[in-house]
């Protein structure tokens, strides 16, 4: 499972995702969006303020707000689907199309969750897991709308997990699905088929993870 991750980002990092959304829109309607040339102006117009950006820096816990990227916009929403007074924070990728709670969202409400690292524990030892070559990466997620007790509506997201790759298996049997940058627009594309989606929901390639123990501050020696 994935129960903690960290996000530290800049406006330049956000620009990467605005470009991604522009590519999707261009693919949809055949016209080029000029929004990126006025990127800072667009950020100022959006609902995401500088204060919002500062508020979601650092370690993210279940029920915390975080940044998600959809095929249309950037959103700040909370982590976890409510269910019987509990929070469902992960969905198993292998069965996500079979579960009633997730099946509609994975077809029409997929999202990316930017992160710099995620955390996992083994024998009370905490590990941080990063990508060797990328400061920022995207975890696969889905989102949906839920009714609060007062009747208001609230969007929430969760993270999709998969079987651990050979590196992660030394710590845990599961890991978040990490979408390579070259597949990000395909994952968000609303026209991607279930088969195409499932082909992207798989363990990250072997050899690209950097795993550090935070207990003794030493890099985990894998092979």
Asked whether residue 80 carries a pLDDT value surpassing 80, the answer given is: yes
Question: What digits encode the pLDDT tens for the residues 87-131?
Answer: 999 999 999 999 999 999 999 999 999 999 999 999 889 999 999
CA-CA distance, 155 to 150, in Å (whole number)?
15
pLDDT at site 220: 45
Written as one string, the DSSP assignment of 154-216 is EEEEEEEEEE--TTGGGT-SEEEPEEPGGGHHHHH-TT--HHHHHHHSSPPPTT-EEEEETTT
Report the predicted TM-score, pTM, of the whole model to 2 decimal places.
0.87
**How many residues are present in the chain?**
223
The torsion region of residue 177 among left (phi > 0), alpha (psi -120 to 50) and beta comes to beta
Exposure string of 158-182, with b = 16+ CB inside 10 Å and e = fewer, is bbbbbebbebbeebbebbbbbbbee
Biggest CA–CA distance in the chain, Å, is: 54
CA–CA gap between residue 138 and residue 114 (Å, rounded): 5
Domain made up of 5-213: CATH architecture: Alpha-Beta Complex (3.90)
Band of residue 29 on the pLDDT scale cut at 50, 70, 90: low
Which of residues 30 and 190 earns the better pLDDT score?
190
The residue ranges of every structural domain in the chain are 5-213
How confident is the model at residue 148, as a pLDDT? 86
Return the pLDDT at 43: 57
What is the distance between the alpha carbons of residues 109 and 152, in angstroms, rounded to a whole number?
A: 20
pLDDT at residue 139, rounded to an integer: 97
pLDDT mean across residues, the chain: 86
Say what the pLDDT of residue 40 is.
Answer: 54
Report which DSSP code applies to 136. S
Check residue 222 and give its pLDDT.
41
Lowest mean pLDDT among 15-29, 49-63, 68-82: 15-29
Does residue 67 or residue 139 have the better pLDDT?
139
């Amino acid at each position: 499972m994935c129960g903690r991750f960290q996000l530290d980002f800049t406006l330049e990092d956000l620009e990467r995702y605005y470009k991604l959304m522009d590519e999707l829109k261009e693919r949809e309607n055949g016209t080029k969006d000029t929004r990126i040339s006025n990127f800072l102006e667009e950020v100022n117009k959006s609902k995401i303020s500088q204060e919002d950006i500062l508020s979601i820096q650092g370690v993210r816990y279940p029920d915390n707000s975080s940044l998600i990227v959809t095929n249309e916009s950037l959103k700040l929403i909370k982590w976890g689907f409510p269910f019987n007074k509990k929070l469902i924070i992960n969905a198993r990728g292998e069965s996500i199309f079979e579960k009633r709670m997730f099946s509609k969202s994975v077809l029409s409400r997929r999202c990316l969750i930017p992160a710099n690292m995620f955390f996992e524990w083994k024998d009370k030892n905490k590990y941080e897991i990063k990508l060797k070559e990328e400061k920022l990466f995207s975890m696969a997620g889905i989102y949906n709308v839920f009714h609060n007790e007062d009747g208001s509506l609230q969007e929430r997201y969760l993270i999709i997990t998969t079987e651990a790759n050979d590196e992660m298996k030394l710590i845990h049997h599961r890991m978040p699905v990490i979408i390579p940058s070259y597949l990000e627009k395909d994952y968000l594309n609303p026209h991607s088929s279930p088969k195409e989606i499932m082909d992207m929901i798989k363990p990250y390639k072997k050899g690209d993870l950097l795993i550090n123990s935070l207990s003794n501050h030493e890099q985990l020696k894998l092979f």
